[in-house]
Amino acid sequence: MYKDSDQVLDTVISSPANTGEEVPSSSILEMRGISKQFPGVLALDNVDFDLRRGEVHILFGENGAGKSTLINVIAGTFPPDKGTFRYDGKDVSHLTPHRARVMGISPVFQEFSLIPNLTVEENLFLGRETSTSGFLRKKAMSARAAKVIEMLGFDLDPKKRVSSLSRAHQQMVEIAKALLADVRLLILDEPTASLTENETYKLFELIGRLKADGVGIIYVSHRMREIKEIGDRITVLRDGRKIETCNAADVGENELVELMTGRKIDVLFPKIDHKPAEKLLEINNLTLANHVVEDVSIYARAGEVTGIAGLVGCGKSELVRAVFGLEAIEEGEIVVKGEQVSHPRPDISLSKGVCYFPSDRVAEGLALERPIRENASMAALNLADFSWMRVLKKLSERKLIQDIVDRLKLRPPNIERAVGNLSGGNRQKVMLARGLTRETDIFLFDEPTVGIDVGAKVEVYDLMKELVDNGAAIILVSSELPEVLNLSNRLYVKQRAKLVAELTGDDMIEQAVLSCFFQDEEANSNAGA
């Protein structure tokens, strides 16, 4: 194991450009004709891909386009069926995750490779502990962990357990873990999905330093701004095939989206006509048992989108989850359509017309082995349309779900397919379908577009518009600022469990929201945390 990765890391992270001897444009990775077949899908079809030293190569494509298959092949998770794989000028076969790491390939996947019950520093060293004859050298590792975290500029306590960290902090641990060893090829799979602006900025700085050191970086992202900011070249994948590789400077946004989807998309955010009517939902002085939300009061009206913005871990998700009945409430009042609800429960909330769409669709939303039909009707089986005297009405179920699925443009529209086979965007549509099976007028969207592609995003936004036009109240919780800014009529900003601002009309600009976040940063450093 890397007993002396100290120096290695120092050269990678701290010293800018000291590998001047190497030819910067030479390829570190060359893949030719890579194919990968999974049961039922050709995930990669004769794909060529190469990565130069010191470049950021963006992988761009819709979900299910083959991006994650490709990075998994590179990381050694599974072998390709066909094609050649040259790394550092040498042919490589029989790659395993372990060998890939030894060779300097460090992947940062969206699904974290962290052990919840271990501390941050224990996780950093997992699989390559510093040890003498089987005994851990804890002091040495602590010192290095602290050093690495400091160099990365992350706000992380190495002694904390990973399970107690927010997703953003876990993402930082994952990145730190990837950079602990001698990295020559770094894979980042949507690394900023849960980072704040400030943390993103730090990450980009770090990417700059790694580039200068000749590290090749494969970067998967849906976010245009990032792609423009850090990308050198872009490879667009669609349906497992490589569509094009181009220089980032040479293509425009629309062009990229067209390449990705194979069709034109005019506007991302629809124009929503907010016609605020009566208050459907009121939350007064709400405090949760775990104190992730403290003394928060908000309301949502029919015919408008109410946005909630905030840093990751500020409790904005927990707020709507509490309304639906998924978090323990310590104090406060929730009023649904004028009726006070002291202890919300999901079944009661549903019957009152409140519906929640979780951000983690796999963990909290869907039974992956079961078909779309069953997943969509799950919340409505007690309705007369779906059952009579506890006996299911399959015909009626099939018809109703098929209608909804068609309305949501779920493709292919076969409602008997298992949800596990669907892409992220389609899975979200199944979730939405579930919400539409009942009479619902309060919709709680929790990060509705995380991990879904542009095409599906537009359809989700269009559905929101349709719902609001029909007089529903929507609460939209999102970490993507453009999303909440463009779709909301009123925007609440949360920081550290508390509500700090309510913005409306012309005040709803990025700068105003960011300054609320910035206050938080100051408070943070004053508290010495």
Partner 1 sequence: MVSNNIALGHLPQKEVNQLVRVISTMGLLPILLIVIVAALSIFEPRFLGIFNILNVLRETSFLAILAAGQMLVLIVGGFDLSVGAVVALSSTVMATVMANTLGIMPDEVGLVIFIGVAAGIGCGVVVGLVNGLCVAYLRVSPFMVTLGTLSIASGIALLLTNGIPVYGMPKVFVNGFGRALWLGLPTTVYVALTLVIIVWAIQRFTVLGRYIYAIGGNLQASQVSGVSTKRYLITAYTMCGALAAITGVLLTARVGSGQATLGGDIMMLQSIAAAVIAGVSLRGGIGRVELVTLGALFLSIVTNSMNLVRIDSKIQTIVLGVIVIFAVALEEYGNRRKIRE
Q: Is 126 in the site for partner 1 (CB under 8 A)?
A: yes
Select the span of 6-14, 86-94, 104-112, 416-424 touching partner 1 (CB under 8 A): 104-112
Q: Is 101 in the site for partner 1 (CB under 8 A)?
A: yes
How do beta strands 41-52 and 27-38 pair?
antiparallel
**Contact 211/22 with Cβ under 8 angstroms?**
no
Q: How many residues bind partner 1 (CB under 8 A)?
A: 35
Q: Residue 509, interface with partner 1 (CB under 8 A)?
A: no
Cβ neighbours around 470 below 10 Å, total: 10
By the rule CB under 8 A, 412 interacts with partner 1: no
Please tell me the distance from the alpha carbon of residue 157 to that of residue 159, in angstroms, as a whole number.
6
Token pair, residue 491, equals 């925007």
- Binder of partner 1 out of 55, 122, 226, 441 (CB under 8 A): 122
Contact range with partner 1 by CB under 8 A, out of 110-118, 293-301, 398-406, 442-450:
110-118
Say if CB 34 and CB 210 are below 8 A apart: no
Contacts by residues 135-138 (CB-CB < 8 Å, ≥ 24 positions apart): none
Q: How far is the CB of 503 from partner 1 (least distance, A)?
A: 26
142 binds partner 1 (CB under 8 A): no
Residues 461-500 vs partner 1: string with x where CB under 8 A? ----------------------------------------
285 binds partner 1 (CB under 8 A): no
Cα R_g (the chain), whole angstroms = 24
Per-position x/- string for 169-198, each x denoting binding to partner 1 as judged by CB under 8 A, each - no binding? --------x---------------------
What DSSP character marks residue 10? H
Stretch of 107-115, 192-200, 416-424, 485-493 contacting partner 1, by CB under 8 A: 107-115
Among 128, 209, 407, 409, binds partner 1 (CB under 8 A): 128
Piece in contact with partner 1 (CB under 8 A), picked from 130-138, 301-309, 414-422, 477-485: 130-138
Selected range binding partner 1 among 39-47, 106-114, 194-202, 403-411, rule: CB under 8 A: 106-114
* Strand ranges in 148-240 using DSSP code E only, listed in sequence order: 185-189, 216-220, 233-238
Counting contacts by CB under 8 A, is residue 164 touching partner 1? yes
Per rule CB under 8 A, is residue 277 in the interface with partner 1? no
Question: What is the nearest approach in angstroms of partner 1 to the Cβ of residue 245?
Answer: 28
Q: What is 64-122 written as a DSSP string?
A: TSSHHHHHHHHHTSS--SEEEEEETTEE--S--HHHHHHTTEEEE-SS----TTSBHHH
**Between the CA atoms of 269, 274, 280 and 285, what dihedral angle is there, to the nearest 10 degrees?**
70
Q: Which is nearer to partner 1, 28 or 114 (CB)?
A: 114
CB 408 within 8 A of CB 438: no
Name 247's bridge partners: 233
Asked whether position 82 contacts partner 1 by CB under 8 A, the answer is: no
First and final CA of the chain: distance in angstroms? 34
Asked whether position 114 contacts partner 1 by CB under 8 A, the answer is yes
Using the minimum distance from each CB to partner 1, give the nearer residue, 101 or 316: 101
254 CB neighbour count, 10 Å cutoff:
12
Contacts of 245 (CB under 8 A, 6+ apart): 49, 233, 234, 235, 236
Q: Which is nearer to partner 1, 136 or 249 (CB)?
A: 136
Tokens of 7: 């120096």
Contact between 77 and partner 1 per CB under 8 A: yes
Which of 173, 227, 292, 464: binder of partner 1 (CB under 8 A)? 292
420 is an interface residue for partner 1 by CB under 8 A? no
What are the angstrom distances between the C-alpha of 178 and each of 15, 19, 200, 338, 505? Answer: 18, 20, 16, 52, 43
Burial class of residue 266, CB neighbours in 10 A (0-12, 13-18, 19+): exposed
Interface with partner 1 includes 3 (CB under 8 A)? no
The stretch among 20-28, 213-221, 284-292, 304-312 that binds partner 1 (CB under 8 A) is 284-292
Is there binding between residue 156 and partner 1 (CB under 8 A)? no
291 binds partner 1 (CB under 8 A): yes
Interacting residue with partner 1 among 277, 328, 367, 392 (CB under 8 A): 328
Residues that bind partner 1 (CB under 8 A): 77, 97-98, 101-102, 107, 109, 111-118, 122, 126-129, 131, 134-136, 138, 161, 164, 166, 177, 289-292, 313, 328
